[in-house]
Amino acid sequence: MQKEQVRPAPGAAAEEQSRVKSAEAERKTAGVGKDGKDLAQEIAGVGTEGEAKREKSKFSATIIAKIAMFSALAAVLQLIRIPMPVLFPSWLELNFADIPALIGTFALGPVSGSIIVVVKIVIKLLLQGTGSAFTGDLSDLFCGLSLVIPSGLIYKYNRTFRGALVALLVGTLSSTGVAMLANRFIIVPAYAKMFGGIDAVAGTITKLFPSVTAENFYAYYLPLSVLPFNLLRCLIASAVTLLLYKRISRLLNKF
Residue 136 belongs to some domain of the structure: yes
Domain that holds residue 160: 57-245
- Structure confidence at residue 253 (pLDDT): 83
pLDDT digits (tens, 9 = 90+) for 116-162: 999 999 999 999 988 788 988 999 999 999 999 999 999 999 999 99
d(CA 126, CA 114): 19
Q: Could you tell me the pLDDT band of residue 255, with boundaries at 50, 70 and 90?
A: confident
Calculate mean pLDDT across residues 13-42: 54
**Which DSSP symbol is given to 32?**
B
Residue 28 belongs to some domain of the structure: no
Q: Answer for the pair 99, 237: CB distance below 8 angstroms, yes or no.
A: yes
Calculate mean pLDDT across residues 78-92: 92
Query: What is the model's pTM?
Result: 0.77
Which segments of the chain does DSSP mark as H helices, in order?
Answer: 12-30, 39-45, 48-79, 98-108, 110-128, 135-156, 161-182, 188-195, 198-203, 217-221, 227-252
- Structure confidence at residue 17 (pLDDT): 63
Residue 51 belongs to some domain of the structure: no
Residue 216 belongs to some domain of the structure: yes
Angle, nearest 10°, between helix axes 227-252 and 98-108? 50
Residue 139 belongs to some domain of the structure: yes
Q: Range with the lowest mean pLDDT among 43-52, 123-132, 149-158, 204-213?
A: 43-52
Total domains present in the chain: 1
Residue 3 belongs to some domain of the structure: no
Is the confidence at residue 14, as pLDDT, over 70?
no
Calculate mean pLDDT across residues 92-119: 96
- Structure confidence at residue 19 (pLDDT): 66
Calculate mean pLDDT across residues 88-108: 95
Calculate mean pLDDT across residues 215-239: 97
Residue 132 belongs to some domain of the structure: yes
* Of residues 152, 153, 219, 142, the one with CA closest to residue 175: 142
* Highest-pLDDT range among 54-63, 88-97, 245-254: 88-97
- Structure confidence at residue 131 (pLDDT): 79
pLDDT above 90 as % of the chain: 67
Calculate mean pLDDT across residues 15-28: 61
CATH number, domain containing residue 156:
1.10.1760.20
Residue 252 belongs to some domain of the structure: no
- Structure confidence at residue 37 (pLDDT): 46
